[in-house]
Amino acid sequence: MPRARSRYAPDRGLTGRMVTTMFLIGLLYVVFVGVLLAALRGSWPIILIITGGLFIAQFWFSDRIAAYGMGAREVTPEQAPELHGTIDRICALADMPKPRVAIADSDVPNAFATGRSEKTALVCATTGLLRRLEPEELEGVLAHEMSHVAHRDVAVMTIASFLGVLAGVITRIALWGGFARSRPGNDPAGILLLLIPLISAVVYAISFLLTRLLSRYRELSADRAAALLTGRPSALASALTKVSGQMARIPTEDLRKAEPYNAFYFMPAFSAKESMGRLFSSHPTLEQRLDQLSRISTDLSR
């Protein structure tokens, strides 16, 4: 018997955006592989094996690689009783299985969730976050992260990012000369081969924009779902304000290490106010998030 859905508020907007993103990413993938097959007709078995293998590896191992890269280590209830207790309360509220619980030894105050499904999910908090937040604030942050698992947008983001990664790899290989073959200038295949770096770059850019647009909405959706589940939007707003303020006090070196994983984090880490990452952030602005939580708080008080 399939398990009933969790008590997290469903988000049709998020579901619609995930379906649209996956459709467009799939369409891009078909076009991209088709171009490769047309340009490298004699190598089509190798292309299919490589792209298929990369897709499987991205789907099955990307969450583990990300968790490892962010320094997550699983902890038992005896090692982290308060953290496990908070997760247990959220699971009871949401009526969902308990994920694996982890801690990352980092002073950057943050949290993240990974996993292809509820069975493989992992929720992690940094030591910097645990040290700075009050219990109700921590509950709001972890409820936010677990909503990503309940809504399955973590898995969608993992799959959606694959094409961008593949296109980026192909672009770099082409620029390094991997596709630089001597072909007559009037050979259509040769012309198509020369266009591969350009096509790869365009595919990467479109994939990047699609995943960023989805990522920003899913963060607002997670804030909304967590606030409605816990009934304390003010606690989540307090956590957002506190974490945002504390980021400015974190050493630049630590922020630079965390910056590549911003798409996973509760709050993005930027090494400088002028960082280009802010222009293409995976998260909405703090003002947008606080404004939404304020509206939810007003609705709940009526």
State yes or no: 144 annotated in a binding site: yes
Catalytic residues: 145
Largest CA distance in the chain: 74
**What's the CA gap between 83 and 184, in Å, rounded?**
65
CA 250, 251, 254, 255 dihedral sign is: positive
SS3 of 180, please?
A: coil
SS3 of 273, please?
A: coil
- The CA-CA-CA angle for residues 149, 56, 111, to 5°, reads 30
State yes or no: 283 annotated in a binding site: no
Question: What separation in angstroms does the CA of 279 have from each of 162, 212, 274, 276, 289?
Answer: 22, 11, 9, 5, 17
State yes or no: 134 annotated in a binding site: no
* Chain centre to alpha carbon of residue 238: 23
SS3 of 72, please?
A: strand
Point out the annotated binding site: 144, 148, 219
Residues tagged in the binding site annotation for Zn(2+) = 144, 148, 219
